[in-house]
Structure 1
Amino acid sequence: MSAPQASVAVIGGSGFYEFLDDAREVEVETPYGAPAAPIAVGEVAGTPVAFLPRHGTGHAFPPHLINYRANLWALRSLGVRQVLAPCAVGGLRAEVAPGDLVVPDQLVDRTLGRVQSYVERGAVHVPFADPYCPTLSQALAAAEGVSLGGTMVVVEGPRFSTRAESQHYAAQGWTLINMTGHPEAVLARELRMCYSAVALVTDMDAGVESGEGVGQAEVFATFARNIDRLKGLLAGVVPYLPGPGAGCACASWADGIELPYEIPGGAA
């Protein structure tokens, strides 16, 4: 039996391990090893959707040990062209608060040792000035209670920031802090997929407030309280997404370029 296909994927973050009812689980082999978990393929209001828990079943993989290349390649091999990526974030500035849903429009990479490209030879430089697909971002931000804009800085983890680090990030004007948004976004771009993050603010980072700082229990508890809201947002957006390539260059940036890596399913 051939693997089911889906044009849209949701990558679930911390505490977001299930999304689809009556889904079929698919084991996918990739040139980069195994993805975090089998991929569930089902439907949302008639739209085929793939779901992958970013950290694996039961949060098996911490942020710095996720096989991001395998995750994105596996989704692309099932036909995925548009990726919605919910994630938990800390707030760095007073304009956001716990419980807010934010679609960032910029990303800053402060990770250290992650493999962040499929390019292993040759001269191929992916354009990344605008790291998120504008079409997907606008679709997510059109939902009630979701704001658009802000810079998300991605740190290595798994530790939380010191107060000095947090204050430094805030002083740069950055809004959100996260541990998994990179290299996920750039790998999606290299595979010619549309990608947008949607961030749930679970806490204010250590440099924003006094006290003991950020704790894991606080983050997970806030995410758990908002998981149904986040699932409802995604389920409401998926059926109305415009097709890939509508108003963006996510799929066409490599037209005329010979890529030194395989894109499963081809460029189309």
Structure 2
Amino acid sequence: MQQLLNTALGGLTLGMVYAAFALALVLIWRSTRIVNFAQAPMAMVTTFVALVVVDAGHSYWLAFAAALVSGLLLGAVVERLVVRPVEGGPEINAVILTLGLFIVLHALAAVVFGNRYRSFPAPFGVRGLEVGGTTIALTGFGVFTVLAVLVTMGLLLALFRYTDVGLRMRASAFNPEVARLLGVRVGRMLTLGWALASLVGSLAGLLIAGGSLVHPAYMDSVVVYGFVAAVLGGLDSPIGAVVGGLLLGVALSFVSGYVGSQLVALAALVILMLVLTLRPGGLFAQAAARRV
């Protein structure tokens, strides 16, 4: 029974990590209609920025803020200098650019920060909590991860549903020509979308790195699992991203704990194939309007 509980709690924390990254993918999709495959190395770079601040003797929270700010700026710069020149063309061009950026950022990070493994601090304990004299597989940092992802989801929902800025971002993504005719500054909205998505990605990188080892490739596997979580919940739904991350994290935790860790990647592929076959729009996809 304790093993079952610990496996489920481990999956909860892992799922929230996937959900954080899925939220970044959902945000960039809703605001620009592009899947950013460079999200992971962008988050990795900002995590190393935080590590530089920590190594300089400053507090974790100052490093946390520095990573988020650098993520915001990096997203805006990438949109302006890399993505903006191909806007208006086939969407596949931007996707290919993000794949190229994935490679470039990896190489630059290896040159600037090195390839060795480095320890990243955590603001809260990374030992299991004591409940009734029993240690469970939920740490203080795990609780912080859950709360951070839920707060981020709530803020994104409020942004897209209740603010004019969110409406302008969605209009710029779905139909930029009409949005321009209505007075929306599409370029600024796309830059803002990339910047906010990069900020959320930086948060995901910090949550993944907390209390563990980091190196330039430490987030590569998260690209796959975060993408599966986003597709599972629906690329248009922040709630779907969180639910998809939770379902995926718990499922993969049980596969690892009861079947074998070597089958985790295969299980994620099977889940992705099932979702694309049975419900391509994701679990939280809205029904398409019928045309008469």
Instruction: Tell me if both proteins adopt one fold, taking TM over 0.5 as the criterion.
Output: no
Greater per-residue strand proportion: 1
**TM-score normalized by structure 2?**
0.27
Larger Rg: 2
Structure with more relative contact order (C-alpha pairs < 8 Å, separation 6 or more): 2
TM-score (norm 1): 0.28
- More helix by proportion, 1 or 2? 2
